Chain A
Amino acid sequence: MGTAALTAYRHALRAARVAFQGDTAVLLAARSQMRSGMLDPPDKTLSPAQQAQYMEDVATYLRRNVVQATRVNTAGGPPEQHHQPRFHLNIHGDTELGDNDSIRNKTQLKAKHWPKR
Chain B
Amino acid sequence: MLCSVGSRCGAGQGALLQSRQSGASAFVSKRFFAAAAGGNTLKQEDVLKRVGDVIKSFSKTGTSASNADTPAAEVTEATSFQKDLGLDSLDTVELLVAIEEEFEIEIPDKVADELKTVGETVKHILSNPEAN
Contacts and interface: CB of A to CB of B under 8 A. Distances in A.
B29 to A, nearest CB: 15
Interface in A1-16: 1, 3, 6-7, 9-10, 13-14
Contacts of A10: 93, 96-97, 109, 112
Chain A interface SS verdict (over half): helix
Contacts of B90: 1, 6, 9, 35, 38-39
Contacts of A38: 90
Chain B interface SS verdict (over half): helix
A7 B101 contact: no
A52 B128 CA distance: 28
B25 to A, nearest CB: 11
A22 B20 contact: yes
A65 interface: no
Interface residues of A, number: 22
B2 interface: no
Given A1-B90, A32-B63, A38-B90, A14 B19 contact: no
A1 B89 contact: yes
Nearest to A25: B19
14 contacts: A1-B89, A1-B90, A6-B93, A7-B109, A9-B93, A10-B97, A10-B109, A13-B16, A13-B94, A22-B19, A22-B21, A22-B23, A31-B16, A35-B63
